[in-house]
């Protein structure tokens, strides 16, 4: 294992803090208020500083091992992790890092979503499998929220205190994205106790040996239930039965019967799970009510946000790795001296195309981080207004729902493309395991596929998040963007004039895209099918552009203050100048593409759907 692989992770705490405390200003909007009354900026910085140090010391070193040392699958269904990876998982739980997002009443830190997702970036960026093996906090919160008092007593405390594993179990061999055709059965034994039979596939961390127990949340169809997703119920299915005193009892009939051999993310055990084949499998009906898909969406939405943040975190560390390489790799003469064979060789960061590739990565990595944390800030507001589903938070709930396909669908899709750019900076060296980029690409590709493919996210955005409320939530978001344009017109700064104009034009283009599609929807739904990805990308790109420009305003003010004070803090000066450079690049290189996207949507036809299958 190379040194480059073991020390792969490059965090960006400075940008995390810029988002949290300078742009989103959570110190005044969130910390010290309501649920988050006991937290302040010093506490949050201390926690994130500690997590970053822990991620570098304990998580990053086992990342490559998880890729290069095979998981061991035994006949009894046990999956054994590589030793270093298992230690990382255990140390994460032993250090209590999973308690950051757990409410105070359950013994946790009770941090707001902005802080939790910032912490998640540090974990998932340094070692994605560890971040996923630590799903128990999410599952425990769901059980605490929708389970019966008895279920909360039996599972929530032990899951958190003992660091158990947890999974979400939806997919079946013949029911992938179409969850509603699932055939796993549930037969009532008595009360909320059921017997589960069936086979599930692609279950992340269905079994692993770093924990004493694993709690599965399983979708199954009770006897007599109707078809589709509405007929599905959710069940708590432990690997080992839990006794009333919290001790572990007999083995339950939920077994891993195969593990997938994958392109990447190999340290995360992706399992086929068989229920009720070897021995009976029992599970509790969650909350004692048949409301499975709605209950599971608490986990699904968290997973979609997590996938988008994972992609962003991977792109960020890939960019910083390629930046470091570009500053030390000497190759070729300066382009303006290219014909002079005696000209001195220069580091590749001096070559125009390498600079273009670096700034492309920088602007998107920081823009995607802005998108993820802005979405998290909406979740902060929801929590302060009473939580998800509260009437007072209805509009913000809808905005969060609209932003999730952007976070998951766009960040995962665009990051995969940009990781290839990271590798390109390294040249042939990037194709080798001496550097982490090739593993980043393999580990990240799954993000465009699971928890809803890119196109499923695009359809979800258009039909469930925009069309369902006649565009009201989208108009509200566009109104926020228009508000920034108005502020720029009234208050400057003049340095962002070109960026303001680019945002104004992009706003008109995105509105035109939706207008064109709405007018064509009556002609054929296929128009949406053909154009949905383009609509998703355009929506995400204007939101990212808007958020970057907001950052540019903050950066310009901070930079001016430093310059007027004759500051010699070069790191801070360079940070803010880099922010302005990224905003400028994005607005000149990315936002103009929305004009082309609008023309493509407006000129779109259904000729593709008329091509005979034999012609493909």
Active site residues per annotation: 451
Cα separation, 496 vs 548, whole angstroms: 11
- Between CA 204 and CA 12 the distance in angstroms is 28
Report d(CA 115, CA 97) in Å as an integer: 13
Residue 395 structure tokens: 């509009």
Q: Which two tokens stand for residue 223?
A: 């006897």
| Dihedral sign of CA atoms 103, 107, 111, 113 in order | negative
Which among 412, 137, 175, 143 is positioned nearest to 296, based on CA atoms? 143
**DSSP character for 74?**
-
- Report the distance separating Cα 291 and Cα 299, nearest Å: 14
The 3-class SS string of 352-403 reads HHHHHHHHHHHHHHHHHHHHHHHHHHHHHHHHHCCCCCCHHHHHHHHHHHHH
Measured between alpha carbons, how far is 358 from 352 in angstroms, rounded to an integer? 10
Burial class (CB in 10 A: 0-12, 13-18, 19+), 75: exposed
Q: Are 407 and 308 in contact (CB under 8 A)?
A: yes
Q: How far apart are CA 383 and CA 371, in angstroms?
A: 19
| Helix, strand, or coil (residue 460) | helix
- Whether 107 and 99 have beta carbons less than 8 Å apart is answered as yes
Q: How far apart are CA 317 and CA 431, in angstroms?
A: 17
First to last CA, the chain: 44
Kind of pairing between the strands at 185-190 and 214-222: parallel
Q: Which residues of 526-541 are buried (b: 16+ CB within 10 A; e: fewer)?
A: ebbbbbbbbbbbbbbb
DSSP SS3 for 602: helix
Which SS3 state, helix, strand or coil, does residue 238 take? strand
**Count helices and strands in the chain by DSSP H and E runs:** 23, 14
The Cα–Cα gap between 151 and 155 comes to 6
What backbone phi and psi angles, to 5 degrees, belong to 537?
-65, -45
Answer yes or no: are the C-beta atoms of 68 and 122 closer than 8 Å. no
Q: Which of 145, 138, 128, 131 is nearest to 159 (CA)?
A: 138
Q: Are strands 233-238 and 193-204 parallel, antiparallel or unpaired?
A: unpaired
Cα(347)–Cα(369) distance, integer angstroms: 29
Report the C-alpha gap between 528 and 464 in whole angstroms: 13
Distance, in Å, from the CA atom of 306 to the CA atom of 370, rounded to the nearest integer, reads: 15
DSSP conformation class of 410: I
CA distance 381 to 69: 43
Least Cα distance to 236 among 150, 172, 306, 162 occurs for 150
């Amino acid at each position: 294992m190379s040194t480059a692989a073991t020390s792969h992770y490059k965090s960006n705490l400075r940008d995390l803090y810029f988002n949290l405390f300078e742009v989103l200003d959570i110190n005044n909007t969130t910390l010290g208020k309501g649920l988050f009354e006991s937290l302040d900026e010093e506490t949050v910085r201390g926690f994130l500083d500690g997590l970053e140090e822990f991620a570098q010391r304990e998580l990053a070193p086992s990342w490559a091992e998880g890729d290069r040392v095979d998981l061991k699958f035994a006949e009894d269904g046990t999956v054994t992790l590589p030793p270093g990876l298992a230690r990382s998982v255990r140390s994460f739980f032993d250090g209590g890092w999973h308690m950051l997002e757990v409410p105070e009443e359950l013994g946790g830190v009770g941090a707001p979503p902005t802080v939790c997702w910032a912490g998640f970036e540090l974990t998932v960026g340094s070692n994605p499998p560890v971040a996923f093996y630590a799903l128990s906090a999410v599952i425990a919160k769901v059980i605490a929220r929708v389970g019966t008092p008895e279920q909360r007593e039996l599972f929530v405390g032990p899951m958190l205190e003992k660091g158990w594993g947890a999974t979400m179990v939806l997919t079946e061999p013949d029911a992938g994205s179409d969850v509603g055709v699932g055939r796993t059965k549930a037969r009532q034994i008595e009360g909320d106790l059921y017997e589960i039979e069936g086979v599930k596939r692609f279950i992340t961390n269905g079994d692993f040996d770093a924990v004493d127990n694993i709690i599965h949340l399983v979708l199954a169809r009770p006897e007599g239930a109707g078809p589709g997703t509405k007929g599905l119920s959710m069940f708590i299915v432990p690997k080992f039965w839990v006794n009333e005193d919290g001790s572990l009892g007999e083995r339950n009939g939920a077994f891993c019967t195969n593990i997938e051999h994958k392109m990447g993310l190999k340290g995360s055990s992706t399992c086929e799970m068989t229920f009720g084949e070897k021995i009976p499998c029992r599970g509790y009906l969650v909350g004692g009510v048949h409301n499975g898909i709605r209950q599971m969406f608490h986990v699904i939405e968290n997973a979609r946000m997590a996938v988008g943040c994972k992609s962003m975190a991977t792109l960020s560390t890939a960019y910083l790795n390629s930046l470091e390489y570009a500053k030390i790799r000497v190759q070729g003469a300066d382009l303006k001296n290219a014909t002079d064979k005696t000209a001195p060789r220069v580091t590749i960061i001096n070559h125009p195309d390498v600079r273009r590739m670096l700034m492309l990565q920088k602007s998107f990595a920081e823009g995607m981080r802005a998108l993820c944390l802005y979405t998290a800030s909406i979740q902060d507001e929801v929590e302060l207004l009473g939580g998800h589903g509260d009437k007072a938070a209805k509009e913000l709930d809808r905005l969060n729902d609209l932003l999730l396909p952007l976070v998951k669908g766009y960040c995962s899709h665009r990051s995969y493309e940009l990781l290839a750019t990271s590798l390109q900076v390294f040249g042939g060296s990037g194709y080798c395991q001496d550097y982490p980029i090739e593993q980043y690409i393999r580990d990240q590709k799954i993000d465009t596929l699971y928890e809803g493919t890119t196109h499923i996210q695009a359809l979800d955005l258009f039909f469930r998040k925009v069309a369902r409320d006649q565009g009201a939530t989208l108009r509200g978001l566009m109104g926020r963007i228009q508000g920034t344009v108005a502020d720029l017109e009234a208050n400057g700064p003049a340095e962002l004039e070109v960026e303001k104009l680019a945002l104004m034009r992009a706003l008109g283009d995105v509105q035109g895209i939706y207008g064109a599609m709405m007018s064509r929807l009556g002609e054929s739904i296929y128009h949406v099918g053909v154009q949905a990805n383009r609509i998703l990308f355009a929506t995400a790109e204007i939101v990212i552009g808007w958020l970057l420009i907001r950052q540019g305003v903050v950066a310009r003010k901070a930079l001016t203050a430093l310059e007027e004070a004759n500051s010699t803090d070069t790191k801070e000066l360079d940070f803010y100048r880099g922010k302005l450079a990224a905003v400028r690049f994005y607005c000149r290189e990315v936002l103009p593409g929305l004009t082309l996207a609008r023309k493509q949507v407006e000129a779109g036809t259904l000729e593709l759907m008329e091509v005979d299958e034999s012609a493909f």
